[in-house]
Amino acid sequence: MSRGSVERGRIQMTGRSTKGVRMVIQPLYTGLRVRNLDKAIRFYKALGFRQTMRMRTVLGEFAQLEDPGSGFTIELNYYPRGSRVYEPLRKGTELDHFGFEVGDVDACVAKLYRAGGKVKSHPHNCKIIIHERGAVHDTWENGRAAYVADPDGIWIELLARSRSERG
């Protein structure tokens, strides 16, 4: 059984299930699938969130919104028909994924696979832009990312900066 502790926003998992290896993860945001991005943005702005980014990608379009008081971030994802990640939404399928910073994407993917996860997107190199408090907080030019689904099918995005970019 794993034990965990939270220190300055980071979660440290230790115990027998990690075989003595300390894995540090940083929760970054929660991603939600939406049917209409403009309506979703309007709703979360009314709740007090501030839009920090909106971008089109090969998968669709997304926006990040942040609570100015806590810094909690949500990512609203719209995937049109024809996108490789499109699937019709049904009530209860709106949770898209959680995003976490990890020290080593490849090692974390392997560990989660052994724990029953399903690799959805293998580790790959990419540029990663981190927003915090309404502005670009950090850019990882040589980042690494992957997606793994948990045993219930909820996707987890794993992000890491290169060794040279760690501070």
The one-letter amino acid at 150: D
Q: What is the DSSP string of 51-109?
A: EEEEEE-SS-EEEEEE-TTT--EEEEEE--TTSTT-----TT--EEEEEEEES-HHHHH
Going along the chain from its start, the domains and CATH numbers come out as 22-165 (3.10.180.10)
Question: Using one digit for the tens of pLDDT, what is the confidence trace for 102-151?
Answer: 889 999 899 899 888 899 999 998 887 766 655 556 677 778 999 998 87
Put simply, whether the predicted model's pTM sits higher than 0.75 gets the answer no
Q: What does the pLDDT read at residue 142?
A: 78
Q: What does the pLDDT read at residue 71?
A: 83
How many other β-carbons are positioned within 10 Å of the β-carbon of residue 26? Answer: 15
Give the residue ranges of the chain where pLDDT is below 70.
Answer: 1-23, 130-138, 152, 163-167
